[in-house]
């Protein structure tokens, strides 16, 4: 599809600097722009590329002032990154929507299916499952007994949802997500192998949650593992039994939360973070990548490192750590000098 940039500016409540009749048909990165595409400038580190990009138009902030001549038109908006997200969402909504039930697939006679649902080939909907309106269920999805799926939710290929779990409205579960598998619960047995503790709880996923590919959300031992409204999980994330993740918390790839820990709302958790079990992480917490959380974390702090600590303390520690090789050499030289003095 092709769009004039003046029409894009109107959609985004922005203004055009340059030729508003320019037509674009795709999106590109600013450092790899090609003619006929729209790009954006949100990170100041990429400002240099706006003078060399071959893209036809660039989304910029309203206060952007170029230092030299540009070869592209500008669309000035309040927030280029947010405007790009809005534009991509509008573009996605314009694509034809899938509907209908493909064959072969299985829908239990006791399941309830809403209007305008898409059910891909080889999908399986179990007894008493309830599927809301405009839900998109891609091929090879399994939905267990008594599962509830809210309106406008998307389950991509290969998603597995175990019995009794609840998924809210406007959620996105990417390929390979598993919801409701057994939590890791075993009792030591002095006479032999561990004894499995049966996991009889479920998972509750509230509205507007997105879960990245091949992530796993374990069911509770008793009660519920809960992802609150607006949670966003990256790929390859592990959420253990009885964990609760607060509203609008985001977590980057390869992170994990051990059993029964509670993470507050509006937290930002970097990649490869590990949170030990039975802990509480407060609200508005920022956790740097690869941090190891081994104790409770209060509200409104930024931490990093393993074991984790305040990010300023961590940076001071790292400054000392980098000097250790030289300090070691200095100590060795000092010992040699002292030995030489003892012999005199």
Active-site residue, 241 included = yes
Whether the CB-CB separation of 14 and 77 falls below 8 Å is answered with: yes
Q: Is residue 51 part of a domain?
A: yes
Q: State mean pLDDT over 294-314.
A: 92
Distance, CA of 38 to chain centre? 25
Query: 38 pLDDT exceeds 90?
Result: yes
Domain contains 242: yes
| pLDDT, tens digit (0-9, with 9 covering 90-100), for 2-37 | 899 999 999 999 999 999 999 999 999 999 999 999
Q: Is the pLDDT of residue 315 over 90?
A: no
pLDDT tens figures, 193-219: 899 999 999 999 999 999 999 999 999
Residue 306 has pLDDT above 90, yes or no: no
Between residues 208 and 315, the one the model is more confident about: 208
Taking the C-alpha atoms of residue 227 and residue 233, their distance in angstroms, rounded to an integer, is: 10
For the beta carbon of residue 144, count every other beta carbon within 10 angstroms. 20
Query: Does residue 261 share a domain with residue 148?
Result: yes
Same domain, 227 and 301: yes
In eight-state DSSP terms, residue 194 is P
pLDDT tens-digit readout, 123-142? 999 999 999 999 999 999 99
From 100, 136, 96, 102, select the one nearest 122 (Cα to Cα): 102
Q: Are residues 189 and 241 in the same domain?
A: yes
Judgement on whether residues 170 and 283 belong to the same structural domain of the protein? yes
pLDDT at 344 over 70: no
- DSSP secondary structure letter of residue 328: H
Question: Can you tell me the distance from the alpha carbon of 114 to that of 134, in angstroms, rounded to the nearest whole number?
Answer: 7
Mean pLDDT of the 308-335 span: 87
220 plus 121 within the same structural domain = yes
pLDDT of 273 reads: 98
Residue 147 has pLDDT above 80, yes or no: yes
pLDDT at 319: 85
Domain end among 71, 94, 117: 94
| Same-domain check for residues 32 and 79 | yes
Task: From 240, 305, 245, 312, select the one nearest 280 (Cα to Cα).
Answer: 245
* Structural domains in the chain (count): 2
> What residues make up the domain containing 133?
100-313
Range scoring the smallest mean pLDDT among 38-47, 160-169, 267-276, 321-330: 321-330
298 in the same domain as 231: yes
Residues 151 and 59 in one domain: no
Classify residue 79: in a domain, yes or no. yes
What average pLDDT does the chain have?
Answer: 94
Asked if 40 and 104 sit in the same domain, the reply is no
Q: What pLDDT is stored for residue 65 in this prediction?
A: 93
Q: What is the CATH number of the domain that holds 168?
A: 2.160.10.10
Do the domain assignments include residue 137?
A: yes
Q: Does some domain include residue 335?
A: no
Q: What is the mean pLDDT of residues 233-260?
A: 98
What is the average pLDDT across 81-85? 92
Choice among 140, 152, 174, 241 that is catalytic: 241
175 & 67 share domain:
no
Average pLDDT over residues 104-114: 97
Q: So what's the pLDDT on residue 93? A: 79
- The reported pLDDT for the residue numbered 124 is 98
**Within a domain: residue 120?**
yes
pLDDT (tens digit, 9 = 90+) per residue, 277-296?
Answer: 999 999 999 999 999 999 99
**φ/ψ of residue 106, rounded to 5:** -130, 130
Predicted confidence at residue 309, as pLDDT, reads 86
User: How much of the chain, in percent, has pLDDT values that exceed 70?
Assistant: 99
Q: Tell me, what's the pLDDT at 154?
A: 97
Model confidence at 119, pLDDT cuts 50, 70, 90, reads very high
- Tell me: do 218 and 200 sit in the same domain: yes
Give the residue from 61, 94, 127 where a domain finishes.
Answer: 94
Say whether pLDDT at 311 is over 90.
Answer: no
On whether both 67 and 206 belong to a single domain, the answer is: no
Per the domain annotation, does 336 fall within a domain? Answer: no
Residue 56 belongs to a domain with what CATH number? Answer: 3.40.1390.10
User: pLDDT tens for residues 158-180?
Assistant: 999 999 999 999 999 999 999 99
Phi, psi (deg, nearest 5) at residue 240: -85, 180
| Least confident residue range of 70-79, 90-99, 191-200 | 90-99
Q: What is the pLDDT of residue 134?
A: 95
pLDDT at 94 over 80: no
Task: Please give the angle made by the CA atoms of 117, 168 and 208, to the nearest 5 degrees.
Answer: 100
pLDDT digits (tens, 9 = 90+) for 251-279: 999 999 999 999 999 999 999 999 999 99
pLDDT at 343 over 80: no
Final residue belonging to a domain, choices 34, 67, 94:
94
């Amino acid at each position: 599809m092709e769009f004039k940039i003046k029409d894009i500016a109107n959609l985004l409540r922005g203004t055009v600097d340059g030729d508003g009749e320019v037509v674009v048909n795709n999106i590109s990165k600013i450092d790899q722009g090609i003619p006929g595409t729209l790009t954006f400038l949100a990170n100041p580190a990429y400002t240099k590329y706006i003078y060399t990009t071959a893209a036809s138009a660039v989304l910029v902030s309203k206060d952007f002032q170029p230092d030299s001549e540009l070869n592209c038109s500008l669309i000035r908006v309040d927030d280029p990154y947010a405007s790009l997200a809005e534009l991509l969402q509008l573009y996605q909504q314009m694509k034809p929507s899938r509907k209908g039930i493909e064959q072969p697939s299985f829908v239990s006679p006791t399941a309830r299916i809403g209007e305008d649902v898409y059910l891909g080939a080889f999908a399986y909907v179990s007894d008493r499952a309830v599927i809301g309106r405009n839900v998109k269920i891609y091929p090879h999805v399994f939905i267990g007994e008594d599962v509830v799926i809210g309106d406008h939710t998307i389950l991509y290929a290969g998603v597995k949802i175990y019995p009794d779990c609840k998924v809210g409205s406007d959620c996105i579960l990417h390929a390979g997500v598993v919801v409701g598998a057994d939590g890791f619960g075993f009792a030591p047995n002095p006479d032999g192998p561990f004894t499995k503790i049966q996991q009889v709880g479920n998972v509750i996923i509230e509205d507007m949650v997105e879960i990245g590919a091949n992530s796993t959300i374990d069911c509770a031992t008793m009660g519920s593992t809960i992802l609150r409204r607006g949670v966003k999980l990256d790929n390859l994330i592990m959420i253990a039994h009885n964990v609760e993740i607060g509203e609008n918390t985001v977590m980057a790839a390869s992170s994990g939360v051990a059993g029964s820990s509670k993470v507050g709302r509006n937290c930002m958790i970097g990649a490869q973070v590990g949170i030990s079990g039975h802990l509480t992480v407060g609200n508005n917490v920022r956790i740097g990548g690869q941090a190891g959380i081994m104790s409770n974390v209060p509200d409104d702090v930024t931490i990093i490192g393993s074991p984790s600590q305040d990010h300023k303390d961590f940076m001071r520690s790292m400054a000392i750590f980098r000097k250790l090789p030289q300090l070691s050499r200095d100590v060795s030289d000092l010992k040699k000098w002292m030995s030489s003095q003892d012999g005199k």
